């Protein structure tokens, strides 16, 4: 448990960070501690859904203690904000910890969010630089990635739309994604029970009229989907290899850019995303970031919040590998589309944990 003096120090650091973000042009905003759970839980992804504190209000329905600020801030902006806009906030967030009893279930979070469609690469660089500047002098390691490159690669595969949709749905679940890619690429044989089901003259005789809560129509539709998938040609070994190469990237940004340009020759669908990375690299350099030594990982961000769909980053305490990142962030354009009822606003943001900043400085 954090002692009262530790909380006071964390709040003092939160005030310093908020002032830093206000000086960068951000407007302070707040978000209710209790948030409606019905819509928002689906936007966070499996990890947060499993760790959210959820309760039921007789008048408002299912509610949850806020697990972060980004989603409610996006919701606020899309309902009443004007572009461009910059926001900052500070307050507690709540997440259950079922594995590590030493990890706090309640901690402070300070954030900086930018809604600006004029120059996404520049906005990415701005958020990374402003947050990095706020933590200047601390012994941190920066890591970056880009979920958009992997998404573009999947969309460019020569396979069925259903297979591409399945892979996109599981990008944030690396094991499931790997299993699907191996199956769609013909590396894993189809289970014998499924083969028997699809080859049967009357599959419903094997499946049963009802399975669990599924009716006959649902089961028949699922069987037809499986038949269509079985008839589809495997994803080529070359394309699977290109996906594997993207996932295995772990080098400095300039080196990764060189490799991705080569990949784009064989998988043109990633071309626009690679150009975006190049523009972001230039924008980061213009902000004074040492891009030549900045790390890029092809798999970075795949176990983070599922609303990220482009640039992602984290700042880590190398000397304390057991601790979570001191700051994280990324681009979430698709989230604005969902919460804006179809109206999209390019957006990127990041958060800092002031309690960890205090601990790193030896103040708690």
pLDDT at 197 exceeding the cut of 60: no
> How many of the other CB atoms lie within 10 Å of CB of 22?
14
Both tokens of residue 325? 């990142």
Q: End-to-end alpha-carbon separation of the chain, Å? A: 12
Mean pLDDT of 186-211: 60
Q: What is the mean pLDDT of the chain?
A: 86
Q: 297: pLDDT confidence band, cut at 50, 70 and 90? A: very high
How many percent of the chain have pLDDT more than 70?
82
pLDDT at 210 exceeding the cut of 60: no
Tell me which residue has tokens 């539709």. Answer: 221
Better-predicted residue by pLDDT, 67 or 325: 325
Mean pLDDT of 126-136: 97
273, 145 in Cβ contact below 8 A?
no
> How many of the other CB atoms lie within 10 Å of CB of 250?
15
Tell me how far CA of residue 143 lies from CA of 121, 195, 315, in angstroms. 17, 44, 6
Q: Report the distance separating Cα 130 and Cα 289, nearest Å.
A: 11
Q: In this structure, what are the phi and psi dihedrals at residue 181, rounded to the nearest 5 degrees?
A: -60, -40
Tell me how far CA of residue 278 lies from CA of 3, 223, 283, 331, in angstroms. 46, 44, 9, 16
Q: 40: pLDDT confidence band, cut at 50, 70 and 90? A: low
Q: Report the distance separating Cα 324 and Cα 360, nearest Å.
A: 12
pLDDT at 281 exceeding the cut of 80: yes
Q: Detail the DSSP E strand segments found in the chain.
A: 27-28, 34-36, 54-57, 61-65, 85-94, 106-115, 140-146, 250-252, 295-297, 311-317, 327-331, 347-352
Cis, peptide link before residue 84, omega less than 30° from 0: yes
If you write DSSP's letter for every residue of 136-184 in order, what string do you get?
Answer: TTS-EEEEEEEHHHHHHHHHTSSS-HHHHHHHHHTTT-HHHHHHHHHHH
Confidence at residue 66, expressed as pLDDT on a 0 to 100 scale: 86
pLDDT in tens, 166-192: 999 999 889 999 999 999 998 776 666
Q: Report the distance separating Cα 207 and Cα 217, nearest Å.
A: 12
Reduced to 3 states, what is the DSSP secondary structure of residue 208? coil
pLDDT at 347 exceeding the cut of 60: yes
Both tokens of residue 58? 């007789």
Reduced to 3 states, what is the DSSP secondary structure of residue 362? coil
The three-point CA angle 43-298-267 to 5° equals 100
Q: In this structure, what are the phi and psi dihedrals at residue 32, rounded to the nearest 5 degrees?
A: -60, 145
What number of residues does the chain have? 364
| Sheet-wide strand order for 61-65 | 34-36, 61-65, 54-57
pLDDT at 38 exceeding the cut of 50: yes
Cis, peptide link before residue 148, omega less than 30° from 0: no
Mean pLDDT of 66-90: 89
Mean pLDDT of 211-227: 63
DSSP label at residue 145: E
Q: 83: pLDDT confidence band, cut at 50, 70 and 90? A: confident
Confidence at residue 122, expressed as pLDDT on a 0 to 100 scale: 97
Both tokens of residue 137? 């002098």
Q: 340: pLDDT confidence band, cut at 50, 70 and 90? A: confident
Least confident piece of the model among 43-52, 90-99, 281-290: 43-52
């Amino acid at each position: 448990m954090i002692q009262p003096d530790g909380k006071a120090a964390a709040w003092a650091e939160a005030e310093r960070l908020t002032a830093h973000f206000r000086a960068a042009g951000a407007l302070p905003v707040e978000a209710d501690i209790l948030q409606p759970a019905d819509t928002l839980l689906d936007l966070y992804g499996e990890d947060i859904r499993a760790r959210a504190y959820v309760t039921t209000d007789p008048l408002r329905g299912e509610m949850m203690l806020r697990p972060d600020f980004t989603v409610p801030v996006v919701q606020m902006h899309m309902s009443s904000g004007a572009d461009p806009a910059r926001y900052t906030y500070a307050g507690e967030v709540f997440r259950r910890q079922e594995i590590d009893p030493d990890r706090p279930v309640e901690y402070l979070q300070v954030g900086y969010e930018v809604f600006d469609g004029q120059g996404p690469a520049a906005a990415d660089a701005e958020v990374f630089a402003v947050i990095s500047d706020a933590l200047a002098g601390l012994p941190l390691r920066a890591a970056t990635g880009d979920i958009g490159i992997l998404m573009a690669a999947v969309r460019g595969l020569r396979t069925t739309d259903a297979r591409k949709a399945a892979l996109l749905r599981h990008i944030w679940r690396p094991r499931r994604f790997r299993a699907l890619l191996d199956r769609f690429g013909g590396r894993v044989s189809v289970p014998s029970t499924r083969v028997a089901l699809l080859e049967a003259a009357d599959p419903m005789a094997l499946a049963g009229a009802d399975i669990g809560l599924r009716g006959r129509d649902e089961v028949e539709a699922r069987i037809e989907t499986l038949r269509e998938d079985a008839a589809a040609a495997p994803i080529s070994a070359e394309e699977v290899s290109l996906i594997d190469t993207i996932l295995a990237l772990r080098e400095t940004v300039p080196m990764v850019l060189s490799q991705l340009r080569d990949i784009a020759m064989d998988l043109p669908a990633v071309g626009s995303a690679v150009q975006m990375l190049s523009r972001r690299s230039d924008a980061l350099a213009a902000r004074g970031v040492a891009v030549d030594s900045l790390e890029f990982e092809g798999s970075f961000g795949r176990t983070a919040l599922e609303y990220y769909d482009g640039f992602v980053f984290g700042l880590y305490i190398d000397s304390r590998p057991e601790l979570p990142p001191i700051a994280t962030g990324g681009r979430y354009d698709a989230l604005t589309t969902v919460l804006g009822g179809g109206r999209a606003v390019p957006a990127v943001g990041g958060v800092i944990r002031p309690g960890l900043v205090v601990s790193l400085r030896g103040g708690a």
